[in-house]
Amino acid sequence: MEKRILGKSGLEVSAIGLGCMGLSFAYGPATERTDAIKLIRSAFEQGVTFFDTAEAYAQGANEELLGEALAPFRDQVVIATKFGFEGGDVQNGVNSKPANIRAVTDAALKRLRTDRIDLLYQHRVDPDVPMEDVAGTVKDLIQQGKVKHFGMSEAGVESIRRAHAVQPVAALQSEYSLWWRKPEKEILPLLEELGIGFVPFSPLGKGFLTGAIDASTGFDKSDFRNIVPRFSEENRKANQALVDVLKQIAAGLHATPAQVALAWLLAQKPWIAPIPGTTKLHRLTENVGGAAIELTPANLSDIDAQLANIQVQGERYPAHLQARVGK
């Protein structure tokens, strides 16, 4: 698979990574461990070298899973994880106090079975901790050799600038896809200016852009999408128009909607590396195939033109979670 460099950091990753959250957390019951390890290792065999996890994904269980799965080829992959929630539980609110960052990093190193974290993100900006203190703490961890690169997630322009002035930010991880394009307004120009890579999560719209979800789809009671306004039955019905257009475009390219959605992201900037997640081997292979599709300027113009008049319905987060992003 094509490799990409995240901004000016020098950090090389596969063009498409693997978001591992859903194997343990947020999208229904956790995947059976042996199946999850098989999927992670299959991703590596198919050229994926960029793996994303966090303390907050089942309070460290996802990190432990990734550590076991990647142990045989640790030196050939890039592992990204995150700190920033009290006790590793998103329900408890944010905590980016320096002491917590250091403690979480040490715990993550053990769970991941490694001596360094390639990319350590602040999961969400903590309004109670100056960004200079956060970046300074990660800078210390980098000097100690425990961390290689610093990242941020769902941060706003001011926070990114303040952090970057203390410790260069290698990558920003935020939601970006054909049905969430707000980063194009302020975030992408800032990242280009500062030389920061972009790692879009939910590049397939939490599964919606695959075409496998419609108004009649039922989710497990523990599935996060049950509380996402964009996934209400009414909004799924309205948003089907976007998927229908994507399906038509994909058919003309002999690809799937998911592959076109990923190829579209890759075509936006050479320093973008999306991290779709999945629990299914066939979907993994499908997603990896998105890296092989090259969209021409004409293709990209066609996609923009056909989607321009479609207004996506519903917020991407419920209010209490929306309050944590863009800070």
Tell me the catalytic residues: 57
DSSP class of residue 32 equals P
Residue 148's alpha-carbon distances to 3, 18, 70, 76, 186, in angstroms, are: 18, 19, 18, 15, 27
Distance from C-alpha of 122 to C-alpha of 151, rounded to nearest angstrom? 6
Pairing of strands 12-14, 3-5: antiparallel
CB contact set of 245 (below 8 Å; sequence gap of 6+): 306, 307, 310
Number of helical (H) and strand (E) elements in the chain, helices listed first = 11, 9
> Could you give the CA distance from residue 112 to residue 118 in angstroms, rounded to a whole number?
11
Strands 117-122 and 169-175: unpaired
- In 3-state terms, what secondary structure has residue 297? helix
